[in-house]
Structure 1
Amino acid sequence: MQAPPQRLINKVVPIEEAMAFIEDGCTLMFGGFGGVGNPPTLINEIIRKEVKELTLIGNDTGFPDIGIGRIVSRGMAKKIIVSHIGSNPIAGKLMMEGKMKVEFSPQGTLVERIRAGGVGLGGILTDVGLDSMVEEGKQKITVAGKDYLVETALTADVSIVYAKKADTFGNLIYETSARNTNPLVAMAGKWTIAEVEEIVEVGELNPEEIITPGIYVDRVVKSKGVDWKWAWE
């Protein structure tokens, strides 16, 4: 039997080692919004490794040739849980052809479900979707005389996030809109891999700027940056 992966103090590893966590059929949660904040080097390696039958959880499906959309457009996902797919027509085509299951969740609800998963809650209560098709198949409860839907928490086998800077323990700093969803996604994976632009030693980051504490991060890989030729391979 293969030994389980170790929890590390110095979490910086070659990308090939980090990719050992991402296998066929796994549930993969990704940070970012419209492709911004998706980890490009990890996505490229997933494509190169030809990982298949993925369940993807994140805000959206990016664009056909940008971000997580590059994985979706290649038919590598069997199911996605997202707030919308409108910017990626290939995702819509795969859904209509029955080649990929799509679970839609309102954006705020989706983010809260991820947050709930990250902090160990079973789910959240929301009135969004009451008396609509969103209600189908979901539990409804009444609290203090008001009805709510129970939306289950979301977690993943692996979370992949993108950050501006990290130290070797995995404390993360994000840049501008790349902060969208990444901090919550980092909390909700059984294993979390952070792709970062710059890596420094422990103690070199300003504690006031750290958004994701390293306790949530298991592996750190150096980003190779966005190479747009990937989009047309």
Structure 2
Amino acid sequence: MPRPLLVLRPEPGAESTATAARALGLEPVVAPLFRIAPRRWACPDPAVYAGLLVGSANVVRHGGDGLAVLRGLPVHAVGEATAAAAQATGFAIGSVGSGGLQSVAADLAAGRYLRLAGEAHVPLATPANVTVDTLVIYAAQPLPLSPIAVEAVRAGAVILLHSGEAARYLDAEMHRLGVARESARIAALAPRIAALAGAGWHDVGIASQRSDDAVLALAAEMCQTV
């Protein structure tokens, strides 16, 4: 019998991941650590920008009517899922990354770009001929680690981590609640995310590629490992 898989990402991503996990024969426990909410924002003049940098499909889900003004700009997306969400709402796709938004930013042509982001976002290093302005349009509101999540951790669950923000907050909640972590495992999307989850886990794995499919495949392997 596989270990439970603890899914902490916000909805609707959490249920999407859980559905994919069930198709692999896993037993997901869905307990989001955050609720995504829109922020008020004012749309700048799109004429000064060469394109948009988008690091999450939450930009499209929570950007609101203001996004219509920006639809003439190509989207440089962090990955396939984000690109698909942007394209479905009328945006043209300029490029699609596979190793995080930093790799997308590093390959941009010279010009000025607008980054549409969440309140918690990682700074980007850009080439000398590239300027990036950041506009926050949504925020992740933290939720307490739920009793079902605590039970799963104590049962030796594999915890799926998609973001550094989730890893850092999970570590803080474990300390706040006094939950032992020695029997639980981490399946992280990237090394930085794994590091932010803190120490003391039974095992920590990092996906071979920075993609949802890769980290879920890693989690599936860890769930089957006794």
TM-score, reference length from structure 1: 0.29
Q: Which has the higher helix share?
A: 2
TM-score, reference length from structure 2: 0.29
